[in-house]
Amino acid sequence: MYDDTERYPNRDDIIDCAHQAEDALRRLARITIQRPSMTPADIDIVLAQLAGAVAALPQAATQLSDMLGHAHDDFDLAMDTLTNAADPTVAINTARLHLDAIREPAVEVYRRLDAAHQETAHVSASDPVVTNAGPMSPPARRPEHRQPPPSAGGGRPVAVRPAP
């Protein structure tokens, strides 16, 4: 675990952490494309780590929202020419509203990842099944072909494409 209690983070540390988080998630998405054979215990480790990362999102979003508020108060802000918006106060307030809205969906994602982690934590695996082609598992259905159970909050249904 990273210990940052002895130092005050600077802007470069914060930006670097954000880059590392994005890189790690993109790398995880890339290396799982082939659906390599892993035991449920191995997948459980990944799920637990993802749940932990997602659990930190509401706090990070709240703190970034607070930082935008401070930036609004501390700096002379102006909008660039690449947007039609003219008022930086409106842009800052809108960004803060978006950041404040992250909490509920992030908590739901955390709960789903943690529930999957709790289930896989209790599954053991023996040696892989060997066929003529060697140890193989059937190709998994792609995530976009599955639909999670409806949330308790009565979220909108998601269109699901049929499996090829």
* Residue boundaries of the structural domains of the chain: 40-123
CA distance 144 to 68: 35
| Whether 41 contacts 125, CB under 8 Å | yes
Query: pTM above 0.85?
Result: no
**Predicted confidence band at 24 (pLDDT cuts at 50, 70, 90)?**
very high
Q: In the structure encoding, which two tokens stand for residue 110, read together?
A: 């955390």
pLDDT tens for 53-109 read 999 999 999 999 999 999 999 999 989 888 888 899 999 999 999 999 999 999 999
What is the three-class DSSP state of 1? coil
Sign of the CA dihedral with 108 first, then 17, 36, and 44 last? negative
Report which of 44, 4, 54, 3 is spatially closest to residue 24, judged by C-alpha positions. 54
Report the mean per-residue pLDDT for the chain.
83
- Beta strands per DSSP E along the chain: 130-131, 134-135
25 near 109, Cβ under 8 Å?
A: no
In sequence order, what are the beta bridge partners of 131? 134
How long, in residues, is the chain? 164
Return all residues near 107 (Cβ < 8 A) that are at least 6 apart: 58
